[in-house]
Structure 1
Amino acid sequence: MSSIESHFKNWAHTRITDSTTPPLLFVSGAQGIGKSTAMSAISKMYNGQIAILGIDDFYLTKIERTGLSDKYSPLFITRGPPGTHDIPLLNSKINALQNASPDSVTSLPKFSKVIDDRLPEIEFSTFQGRPKAIIVEGWLVGAKPDLNAPSTEPINAIEEQDKSGLWRQFQEQELAGSYADLWRRSSHFFYLNAPSFETILNWRIEQEETTLGIAKGTLPTERRAWVKNFILYYERITRRMLKGNKINGTQLYVDAFRKPVDVEAQ
């Protein structure tokens, strides 16, 4: 079976050619699965005329997350889970791109994981003109809520810190509210499905090694422990999506080596 990139390019190209206006495409996949490579492939295919909005660039600022942590739970200081994204800002950028003219210049936010905060506007990127398509990509794209989750038993050490259940409750409310409204803006969803949550952990460790510029298998013990702890913030919703609790879309299943093994077309 061909590569992730070829599957995705074929899927995206079909939706672009079938649309008379820039289609909004949602792409979902766990950390380290290869979303960035797929995004690069479609961008090159269309000579940079695809507007790619990584949901990671739309995190709330550190000050805003501090406000959430004060109001609901200290766990919200950590970016990633539903509720830690600026969905109104993301919607405004989608609107701007959909209404762009050939001469438009659309500014797009950038989030620095090094300083754990949104960069100042002077450092935002820009998209020139009217895009052929708009892609929103991220690990939780298409996730559905489970309003019973806050009352269930914790599944890991992070959730055990959520004694009141407010951290989980707020996440599910947000998934049922602003995130669900965002997902309803389009019917085009493409999912990259990992074989297991444990595989995702291994990929996330490899991703960290790449970020640090070190050889595979050489991540220091302390940093490895940090990655294992960090991914627990994502575990419940990641497992939910792996079980299929998400908006309908095309499903591409890959093995532990990121090789496609099956595809279910929408």
Structure 2
Amino acid sequence: MDIQRFLDTQQLPLAYADTAQKWFEPLCERIKTHQKSAGQPFVVGINGSQGSGKSTLTAFISAYLENEYDLKVVALSIDDFYFDKSHRNSLATKFHPLLATRGVPGTHDIRLAMATIKGLKNKGDVAIPRFNKATDNPFPKEHWPRCAAPVDVIILEGWCVGVQPQAVNSVREPINLLEENHDSLGIWRNFVNTELAGAYQELFAQIDYQVMLKAPSFDCVFHWRLEQEDKLRSSTHADSSGIMSETQIATFIQHYQRLTEHALATLPATCDTVFSLNEDRVITSQDVTQ
């Protein structure tokens, strides 16, 4: 694999090459071994809080498996399955105003996600959904990339990928100002938890190998998400109405806090590989079960 080309394409520092060689190349080899023995399209799930490096890891796995083994890899982000603003506004009117904001379970088109994975496992031509965060709406369907299926490896990455629902008694009390001031009765958080317990678990059941980029705490998410938004702002040359300010980000991430903290506490026990990160997103250790 031409690591320098990958670094240039992803605009990464040279130090990432050492990280990739030490941690990610062995991960790719494990995925390749499992994929070969599976004898069918192999689904890899990647979980991590916002800004933890999921997209970059996904890109590296894809590039490595394609270059080293000539495997056909398709990367999906759960973010690309967000409902459009119109649909989320309908949810907000019917169930709770907080559902107008994309992010939590209940704001994704899980039926489309399931259909996309099914399509990638069978022979045919498959459109890969793409969501435009700058406009807070999906890209037009005619702009979605297309792929000839079946493929060898499907990667599904996202902040809530693989997460189980919370116990009912854990949802009762608000954990931040957003929940306290805007969901005092718990309608929104119970809706989210119920959605997570339903079709999302069917989607996550498609995963054959689960990876986690584990943040040290939720406190890091604000700074990591701020960096993401700055990159999005600098790369957007058209409509940027969906890009958030620092104050908006501070409020926005509170939508994610409950399930992010729940994932940090519970998901590592069910993962095949967990990379523990420090506040600078440097991997400090790993836990591999297979």
1:223 aligns with 2:242: no
Counterpart secondary structure, 2:195: helix
- Distance in 2 (alpha carbons) for counterparts of 1:62 and 1:149: 31
User: Is 1:139–2:162 an aligned residue pair?
Assistant: no
Runs of 4+ in structure 1 off by over 4 angstroms are none
Q: 1:251 to 1:118 in 2, by over 3 A?
A: same
**CA apart distance, 1:247:** 6.9
What's 2:278 paired with?
A: 255
Secondary structure at the residue paired with 1:24? strand
1:206 maps to 227
Alignment partner, residue 157 of structure 1 = 177
Residue 93 of structure 2 is aligned to residue 70 of structure 1: yes
Q: Provide the residue aligned with 1:181 in structure 2.
A: 202
Alignment of 1:2-81 (within 5 A): 2-3=19-20, 5-45=24-64, 46-47=66-67, 49-81=72-104
2:218 corresponds to 1:191? no
Partner-residue secondary structure (3-state), 1:243 = helix
Query: For residues 107-126 of structure 1, what are the structure 2 equivalents within 5 Å?
Result: 107-126=127-146
Could you give the per-residue CA deviations for residues 67-86 of structure 1, whole angstroms, max 9, x where no partner exists? 11011111000000011000
Compute the TM-score of the two structures, normalised by the length of structure 2: 0.82
Identity %: 33
- Map of 2:15 onto structure 1: none
Q: Is the 8 A contact 2:174 2:186 kept in 1?
A: no
- When the two chains are superposed, the root-mean-square deviation of aligned CA atoms in Å is 2.0
Task: Give the partner amino acid of 1:16.
Answer: Q
| TM-aligned CA deviation for residue 115 of structure 1 | 1.5
CA distance in 2, matches of 1:7, 1:164: 47
- For 2:193 and 2:206, the matched residues in 1 are separated by 19
- Tell me how far apart the structure 1 counterparts of residues 137 and 270 of structure 2 sit (CA, whole Å): 32
| Structure with larger RCO (C-alpha < 8 A, sep 6+) | 1
Aligned residues: 256
What one-letter code is carried by the residue in structure 1 that aligns with 2:176? N
CA distance in 1, matches of 2:33, 2:278: 25
Q: Which residue of 2 aligns with 1:219?
A: none
Moved more, 18-27 or 141-150: 141-150
Gaps of 5+ in 2: 1-17, 236-243
Q: Relative to 1, partners in 2 of residues 1:105 and 1:185: Cα closer, same or farther, differing over 3 Å?
A: same
The aligned counterpart of 1:217 is none
User: Match for residue 288 of structure 2?
Assistant: 265
CA 1:69 to 1:256, structure 2 compared with 1: closer, same or farther past 3 Å?
Answer: same
Note the C-alpha offset of 1:38: 1.1
- Alpha-carbon shift at residue 9 of structure 1 (Å): 2.3
For residues 10 and 196 of structure 1, do their structure 2 counterparts lie closer, same or farther at Cα, with a shift above 3 Å needed?
farther
Q: Give the Å deviation of 1:105.
A: 2.3
Assess, with a 3 A threshold, how the Cα gap between structure 1 residues 191 and 70 changes in structure 2: closer, same or farther: same
Q: Secondary structure at the match of 1:213?
A: helix
Q: Given the alignment of the two structures, is residue 105 of structure 1 paired with residue 128 of structure 2, yes or no? A: no
Aligned equivalents of 1:245, 1:166: Cα separation in 2: 25
Q: Which has a greater percent of helix?
A: 2
C-alpha distance in 1 between matches for 2:30 and 2:281 = 18
TM-score by length of 1: 0.89
CA spacing shift, 1:149–1:68, aligned 2, 3 Å: farther
Tell me, which stretches of 5 or more residues in structure 1 are unaligned? 215-221
Query: What is the deviation of 1:265?
Result: 1.1
Single out whichever of 255-264 and 9-18 deviates more from structure 2.
9-18
- Counterpart secondary structure, 1:171: helix
1:84 aligns with 2:107: yes
